[in-house]
A and B are shown apart, each in its own frame.
Chain A
Amino acid sequence: KAGVTQTPRYLIKTRGQQVTLSCSPISGHRSVSWYQQTPGQGLQFLFEYFSETQRNKGNFPGRFSGRQFSNSRSEMNVSTLELGDSALYLCASSLETGYGYTFGSGTRLTVV
């Protein structure tokens, strides 16, 4: 059974650019969530999608957005990149509440 797949694994972008990260959940999982991990702030919730609808959103600026497609694949977009956006971005999928998330290996974004 394939796990959660995130692409790309590593990314280097310049300040002011935008970036799109992709996540393919485990087959059958309809809930996809995104987290940002940094040494200073730890793991912070970005947003969660279920059946193409955003159900919950964390405390991040509007530059951070996401979407989910009908096949449950999800993308997140960060516009006008700042140096502070450098982080490991983790995607996780789940069947439903209480089952626990399965995380991907993450995309490490470096903004220079």
Chain B
Amino acid sequence: AQSVTQLGSHVSVSEGALVLLRCNYSSSVPPYLFWYVQYPNQGLQLLLKYTSAATLVKGINGFEAEFKKSETSFHLTKPSAHMSDAAEYFCAVSDLQGAQKLVFGQGTRLTINP
């Protein structure tokens, strides 16, 4: 069975500092990996996805993530945090085969300090 672990339910950084949100996955087949962001009272917005092409994936709003098979990780980074980045971030995995089913991590709430 697939699973996702997000290390740290809350992360706080200063405006302008590096953002690093950690995600480790477990999958018996080559995975598709996703990062989503959720602002209060809204749905999920796709930041980026890995689908077995380039291991360094660039997404929207300056975010990027690197797929490391040996570490089963897919950490999300942004060089310089903005106040508007404050939100909850979810890592998700799905398998290549069969129907689409996303398995989500528990989420990381990102706080940006001025």
Contacts and interface: CB of A to CB of B under 8 A. Distances in A.
A66 interface: no
Contacts of B87: none
Contacts, number: 66
Interface stretch (B12-20, B43-51, B69-77): B43-51
**A43, A44, A104: most-surrounded residue (chain B CB, <10 A):** A43
A56 B105 CA distance: 19
A62 to B, nearest CB: 19
Nearest to B107: A42
Interface string B56-86: 0000000000000000000000000000000
Give the interface residue-count category, chain B. 20 to 34
Interface string A95-112: 001101111111000000
Contacts of A102: 46
Contact of B43 (A58, A94, A100, A106): A106
Contacts of A105: 41-43
Interface of B: 32, 34, 36, 41-46, 49, 51, 90, 92, 94, 96, 98-107
Interface of A: 4, 6, 31, 33, 35, 42-45, 48, 50, 55-56, 58, 90, 92, 94, 97-98, 100-106
